[in-house]
Structure 1
Amino acid sequence: MSDSTIDFDSDVLKRSHTIPVLVDFWAPWCAPCRALGPILERLAGKHSERFTLVKINTEELPEIAARYGIRSIPNVKLFVDGQVIDEFTGALPESMIEEWLNRVLPSPLRAKIRQAENEILAGHSDKAAALLEEVLAAEPGNAAAAVMLARLLLSSDHKRAAAMVAGIGPDSDVYPLAESIRTFSRLFEYTEQPETLPDAPVKTAYLSAIKHLKSADFERALSGFIDVVRKARHYDDDGARKACLAVFAFLGDDHDLTREYRGRLASALYV
């Protein structure tokens, strides 16, 4: 397909809802572009089931280049569901580009993950769990699916939930959520072995907050943890503060409880 015949909205934006689209912004006078082009074409052929390649000549389609703020070329952007999810500039070596693709390309099973999300919203946890198990059987390293399933398992099998996210590190987009699940699991151990907690005036209140957390009563859990922070900040290696941060990550920045109790935690820490 000639660059000049491309319908960007159809060939890139619309199509990216079906398969990721890698867009190579280039120009004939650009030597690095000419070096990068064959590499991208080779990788597109090798991974044709994972993404498709579209080349945009910035000389022929300057309005598209302007729309996406192209200031230097080559510029490569990955479109998924109509949005740019990642990009790079310059003629990188093939090995680095392939590593980048492996990191940023969404799972081919993302439709099944979306289906699982819809089942969760509908209250069908068992159906969602079954779908996520299928995804992980096919893609054991799928961090998004692992975190979703771990969330579903937390109340019934927190140890398995923690094990599912054990390998998710700081380089992952879902690391904050994985870390919150690991923190929850550590706390839930105390409800099974309270004797492992040191004796202190706040021990009963701390355990009570953990029990509220385990039953997903996040407001009472946060209130309890913040009370512990006020009275004995460093109890259980600063455990109450860490528990609050884990709840905030679990609920998300936009949740009403996160917004309200983040301020309360800050006040408790700096009184």
Structure 2
Amino acid sequence: MAYEISDFQKEVIEHSFKLPVLVDFWAEWCGPCRMLAPTLERLAEKHKGKWALAKVNTDVHQHVAEQYSISSIPAVKLFVGGDVVDEFVGALPESQIELWLKKAIPSKNRGQVKAAAQLFEKGKMAEAQKILEPILKEEPDNTEATVVLAQTVLYTNPKKAQEIVRNIEADSEFYQQAESIREFGRLFEIAEDIDTLPNGIGKKDYVAAINSLKKHDFDSALQKFVEVIRNDRYYDDDGARKACIAIFKYLGETHDITMKHRKIFNRALY
């Protein structure tokens, strides 16, 4: 049978270091497996060069099925670099598998995107943009590259940053980062016209927090936003809470400043 493997180590594990390998665990007696097979083969031809399909008969390769804890078939696992990075069970419709593949298959440019992210963290915005812009011309749906590019322009052109992440929705793994960019952009727009803010006891600290944020002084911004939460909890439609969460997502949960302020933030809320 086409795509049927004879040597799992060579045809799946070793090959997955060169190209992602989609493994279909199946058996002759399995009706849903026979339904799924032509769909996967059709997709493999459609996406040839992006990933490879390998079929593993669980009756023939019982040791492999045991190794990967196959208890129900059809079971589909995606191997990259020798490891399973994503999977699903059952005969899903083709449209649903296409959506799954879109999220699961890693970009061939992932190394370059990581390099651009490192340049961004070092403040080398122009260099990061030179890497990211051609990638996004080739892969407009690369949400990781999209978020990093938006971050590189966030402080110089917040409207452009917001526009770049406009189509990143809640089903994306980068949604939280996109939300932080949108929230930063909103705050930076407020800074241009503070008269649009409502009056209230929290206004002074809120404006000061935004100004600290504009200066990349995240420590001071968080301190002031937390003061607003304590003194005027729902000022600007709960804006201080949203701002704190945006900063945490922007910096990352393991960043020193995030870790310093997380507990203080939580106590202020509750």
TM-score of the alignment, normalized to the shorter chain, above 0.5: yes
Task: Calculate the TM-score normalised by the size of structure 2.
Answer: 0.90
Q: Does 1:93 align with 2:101?
A: no
* Runs of 5+ consecutive residues of structure 2 not aligned to the other structure: none
Cα pair 2:155 2:214 within 8 Å, conserved: yes
In the alignment of these two chains, the number of paired residues is 268
Question: Secondary structure of 2:173's match?
Answer: coil
For 1:163 and 1:134, the matched residues in 2 are separated by 18
Task: Tell me the equivalent position of 2:5.
Answer: 3
2:27 maps to amino acid: A
Q: For 1:40-119, list aligned pairs within 5 A.
A: 40-119=40-119
Cα pair 2:151 2:181 within 8 Å, conserved: yes
Cα pair 2:120 2:148 within 8 Å, conserved: no
Shift of the 96–242 alpha-carbon distance from structure 1 to 2, 3 Å rule, reads closer
Task: Tell me the equivalent position of 1:127.
Answer: 127
Cα pair 1:154 1:185 within 8 Å, conserved: yes
Q: For 1:2-41, list aligned pairs within 5 A.
A: 3-7=5-9, 10-41=10-41
Deviation at 1:25, TM superposition (A): 1.0
Task: Tell me the equivalent position of 1:189.
Answer: 189
Task: Tell me the equivalent position of 1:246.
Answer: 246
For 1:178 and 1:144, the matched residues in 2 are separated by 10
Deviation at 1:101, TM superposition (A): 2.0
Q: CA-to-partner distance for each residue in 1:146-199, whole Å, 9 max, x for gaps?
A: 111111111111111111111111111111110111001101112211111122
Cα pair 1:202 1:231 within 8 Å, conserved: yes
Deviation at 1:22, TM superposition (A): 0.4
Q: CA-to-partner distance for each residue in 1:116-155, whole Å, 9 max, x for gaps?
A: 2343355533211111111122222322111111111111
Shift of the 5–82 alpha-carbon distance from structure 1 to 2, 3 Å rule, reads closer
Cα pair 1:3 1:60 within 8 Å, conserved: no
* RMSD of Structure 2 on Structure 1 (CA): 2.0
Cα pair 2:25 2:57 within 8 Å, conserved: yes
Question: Secondary structure of 2:72's match?
Answer: coil
For 1:114 and 1:82, the matched residues in 2 are separated by 20
Shift of the 62–216 alpha-carbon distance from structure 1 to 2, 3 Å rule, reads farther
Task: Tell me the equivalent position of 1:147.
Answer: 147
For 1:3 and 1:15, the matched residues in 2 are separated by 12
Shift of the 53–30 alpha-carbon distance from structure 1 to 2, 3 Å rule, reads same
For 2:54 and 2:213, the matched residues in 1 are separated by 49
Higher mean C-alpha displacement, 101-110 vs 24-33: 101-110
Cα pair 1:219 1:257 within 8 Å, conserved: yes
Higher mean C-alpha displacement, 147-156 vs 102-111: 102-111
Deviation at 1:258, TM superposition (A): 2.3
Deviation at 1:23, TM superposition (A): 0.8
For 2:92 and 2:201, the matched residues in 1 are separated by 59
Cα pair 1:32 1:90 within 8 Å, conserved: yes
Cα pair 2:4 2:54 within 8 Å, conserved: no
Question: Secondary structure of 2:6's match?
Answer: helix
Shift of the 95–166 alpha-carbon distance from structure 1 to 2, 3 Å rule, reads closer
Deviation at 1:2, TM superposition (A): 5.2
Shift of the 221–30 alpha-carbon distance from structure 1 to 2, 3 Å rule, reads same
For 2:113 and 2:225, the matched residues in 1 are separated by 33
Task: Calculate the TM-score normalised by the size of structure 1.
Answer: 0.90
